[in-house]
Structure 1
Amino acid sequence: MNPPENLAERFEEHRPRLKAVAYRMLGSLTEAEDAVQEAWLRLSGSDGRRIDNLGGWLTTVVGRVCLDLLRTRKRRGEEPLEDRLPDPVIGREDRADPEHQALVADSVGLALLVVLDSLNPAERLAFVLHDMFGLSFEEIAPIVDRTPQAARKLASRARLRVRGATPPPDPDRSGQRRVVDAFLAAARGGDFDGLVALLDPEVTLRADGGALTGGLRTIRGAAAVAGQLDTFRRMATAAATHPALVNGAAGLVNTMDGRPFSVMGFTVSGGRIAAIDILSDPARLAGLDLASVEG
């Protein structure tokens, strides 16, 4: 049982998990925080003494809030996540950050979030809550207004879409960093052959410069991605590069004249770069907390 006087304290214990659920559902750090805050408002307006499983209750509430937000996006015809990169989660490589770890546990990279947004809202919720957070289909069913069997089918369809869409990253982060450093060296040196050698043949490059550059641009295949060498070289030589964790993997934060210029996330799989995600939208970069990795 949860007496009213300690509800705020108990809620804060669950906040990292709740934000992780919302981030996987929405791909937006701001919207994820809003969803968690809405859960708190609903909890503070309820009789907490009647809630036996506070964690489960809060997860269900956050799931419902996120489902409503996703459905609202669809109804309004808002820009889907596959037309822009999700918000990256930035951290330092030399400092453990519990919130960062909670947000990007289970290798939730930018590439996976893009795939998740290709699912319909009910499929996404069933997959995220069951496969990533271990909720039963009996718990998920009332959230999506389906039977447990139907909820199971939603998750199964989502799983088929997700499986194989993004390669699993190599678990050795130091190995990831060596590959990213080699990429940076090849870019600075204009080494086309060296760059191709680092790329998986099926590599995908996604670059989001915002509205001024036409939004998200996607390039596939090692030769085509290496063909962007001049752009990589200009980026590597004109900007100051800072190693960082981007969604839990080795990445780069690039600054110019002290201001963020781009964030680069890499998926290194099998010792080669399988995906590169570049966010260079000035408006969205301005909303990220990058001070810790620039110092």
Structure 2
Amino acid sequence: MDTATVERFEAGRSRLASLAYRLLGSAADAEDVVQDAFLRWQAVDRDRIEVPEAWLTKVVTNLALDRLRSAHARRERAVGAWLPEPLLEGDPMLGPAETFEQRESVSVAVLMLLERLPPVERAVYVLREAFSYSHSEIAEILDISVSASQQHALRARRHVAVGRNAAQVDREAARRIVEAFMDAAASGSTERLVAMLTDDATAVSDGAGFGGKPWFETVPARIAATFRAAFKPTPAKRRHAGGSPSIHAEIVNGAPAMIAVLDGRVVGVVVFDPRGDKIAALHGIAHRASLERITQQWGRTEHDAPLIEHW
């Protein structure tokens, strides 16, 4: 393969990776899909490809759908609480963020809603809302009719709209939200935490934190009690964490997030889903495999001073 052909693929790699990430919710799987697409790009007769970008988009989309449909993926996502792999602000895999729909499509809350959709419906939503493909283009990519693409998009938008809370935040707002939540958790007052939550607030954890098992809760008082207990440091919790991590406020997948860092490694992330001046959902991610990419990004970026130097 000549240099120009490789460079043509590399020029679109970030876009392809951000597409695969939205479809899979996993940065590691997205990277694998893009690499598989590159191998196919190497092997194909490129003289017969009229529009390389369209061809690559079709290949990546269908490779991602194959992964979503695989028995391994179904087993993996059925065990415990599946949560998307978190990405730090500035990660190129987050992709385009010019419109509300593009930003929303990569939020943890929406990725979890998309997880409940059939694979093709999920693909139509991502291609239409995040990448602005026409229904005729989507029909070509997915080998479906234009009317089917329109129907899938309508159903997906209705599903996502049910849980839509997305609000753009900057670093200052993210720090203010996380700091207020941590102050309330450390105060010992469950009432202060409950007051920060919406009446229909939810909380979910992948089970790799202090609790040791997946956790899902929909009662604000119970959410508050759990976080109040979890944020109180003890020798046992520090041994479990491997030490005393620093606690930071950052933006993850476009939302405020609390990040625990120990010896340069991200050991836990709690992503907040704000709705107005309250919190509608909290997503706790602590599986080491899910934190590899965000740890790499952490080591390459500058950060504000931690909210807590040693937890």
> Given that residues 268 and 274 in structure 1 are in contact (C-alpha distance below 8 angstroms), is that contact kept between their aligned partners in structure 2?
yes
Q: Is structure 2 residue 103 aligned with structure 1 residue 106?
A: yes
User: Counterparts of 1:15-94 in structure 2 under 5 Å?
Assistant: 15-73=13-71, 77-80=75-78, 83-91=81-89
**2:157 pairs with one of 151, 156, 159:** 159
The one-letter code matched in structure 2 to 1:253 is I
**1:123 pairs with one of 109, 121, 124:** 121
Tell me the secondary structure at the aligned position of residue 193 of structure 1: helix
User: Counterparts of 1:1-295 in structure 2 under 5 Å?
Assistant: 5-73=3-71, 77-80=75-78, 83-91=81-89, 97=90, 99=92, 101-102=94-95, 105-107=102-104, 108-210=106-208, 215-228=213-226, 229-234=228-233, 239-256=245-262, 259-285=265-291, 288-289=295-296, 290-292=298-300
Distance in 1, matches of 2:222 and 2:152, equals 36
User: Which residues of structure 2 form unaligned runs of 5+?
Assistant: 239-243, 304-311
Cα 1:100–1:181 change in 2 (3 A) is farther
State the number of aligned residues: 288
Q: CA deviation at 1:183?
A: 0.5
CA RMSD of aligned residues (A): 3.0
> Given that residues 205 and 277 in structure 1 are in contact (C-alpha distance below 8 angstroms), is that contact kept between their aligned partners in structure 2?
yes
Tell me the secondary structure at the aligned position of residue 128 of structure 2: helix
Aligned equivalent of 1:94: none
Cα 1:223–1:103 change in 2 (3 A) is farther
Q: Name the stretch that deviates more: 166-175 or 284-293.
A: 284-293
- TM-score, scaled to structure 1: 0.85
Cα 1:76–1:177 change in 2 (3 A) is closer
Cα 1:75–1:169 change in 2 (3 A) is closer
* Identical pairs, percent: 34
Q: CA deviation at 1:202?
A: 1.6
User: Which residues of structure 1 form unaligned runs of 5+?
Assistant: 92-96
Q: CA deviation at 1:268?
A: 1.6
1:167-191 deviation line (CA, Å, top 9, x unaligned): 1224454223211111111122223
- TM-score, scaled to structure 2: 0.81
Distance in 2, matches of 1:227 and 1:76, equals 32
Distance in 2, matches of 1:28 and 1:81, equals 16
1:6-52 deviation line (CA, Å, top 9, x unaligned): 12112111111111100010011111001111111111222334434
